[in-house]
Amino acid sequence: MPVHRSGSGTTRRSRLAAAGSLLAALALLLALPGAAGAADIPQRGTARMGQGVIAHDGQRGGSPTGPAAVQTEGVDVSGHQGNVAWQTLWNSGVKWAYVKATEGTYYKNTYFTQQYNGSYNVGMIRGTYHFATPDTTSGAAQANYFVDNGGGWSRDGRTLPGVLDIEWNPYGAQCYGKTQAGMVSWIRDFTNTYRARTGRDPVIYTATSWWKDCTGNNASFGATNPLWVARYNTTVGELPAGWGIYTMWQYTSSGPTVGDHNHFNGALDRVQALANG
């Protein structure tokens, strides 16, 4: 007589049903917002100036408008752009540039030489910037790393003072886990060290909304550090506390040849004045 294994078949069907339920639950979990958050975090070193502006402040199209003041066009670049067509930018009217040199105390721009020397060779006034990560090392440590790896300054009339790029954290908490007072202290540590090393006060690049959230809209840097403000709009809008005027304005991330385009608040001789200190 044939042997019936109904109990074994029931067990197998139960196991398959359980496995199916588990897979469905897993698929639902992965579909939930934030479930793949760890996979969305970019690789350390890839951060670039203004990376969080659109996500946090948005972007409005159109050409910048405002008072009929002379502005001088500039760009900022990082390893994200690779080798840059500097002659094309120069021919289009770009007269100054900032190049990412470092990030934290762990990253140096692998395209630095082509970008820094290339901009200089076509006639631009250029400088370098440091992407700050206040949750990894001290402000002093990062200022020293910056100066030691391309962030220095020389009075040659063609070198702009270094920039502290302090903005949204692409790798984690917006304010890098610091209190507002702690963030101000970190920035002060960086700026004091940079000045001691180079004789220049660094430019501070930031966005007003981030500055309000993460420093409490601290007003103590406006008297010493030039402001480079990020706002992708037709007007520069409200400035962070302490600054009555901006020195540079990053107004778009979708400009020609290189996406990040900026206005210097003045004619070319004002750019030269900043370079000369």
Q: Which residues are catalytic?
A: 76, 165, 167
Pairing of the two strands 163-165 and 203-206: parallel
Tokens of 94: 């770009």
Tokens of 158: 């063609």
Q: Which of 230, 129, 134 is nearest to 181 (CA)?
A: 134
Question: Which residues in the chain belong to E strands, given as ranges?
Answer: 72-77, 96-103, 107-108, 125-131, 163-165, 203-206, 227-230, 248-252, 261-264
Instruction: Tell me the angle at which helices 180-198 and 208-215 cross, rounded to the nearest 10 degrees.
Output: 110
How many of the other CB atoms lie within 10 Å of CB of 39? 6
Strand, coil or helix: 159:
strand
CB half-sphere exposure, 254, CA atoms < 13 A? 10
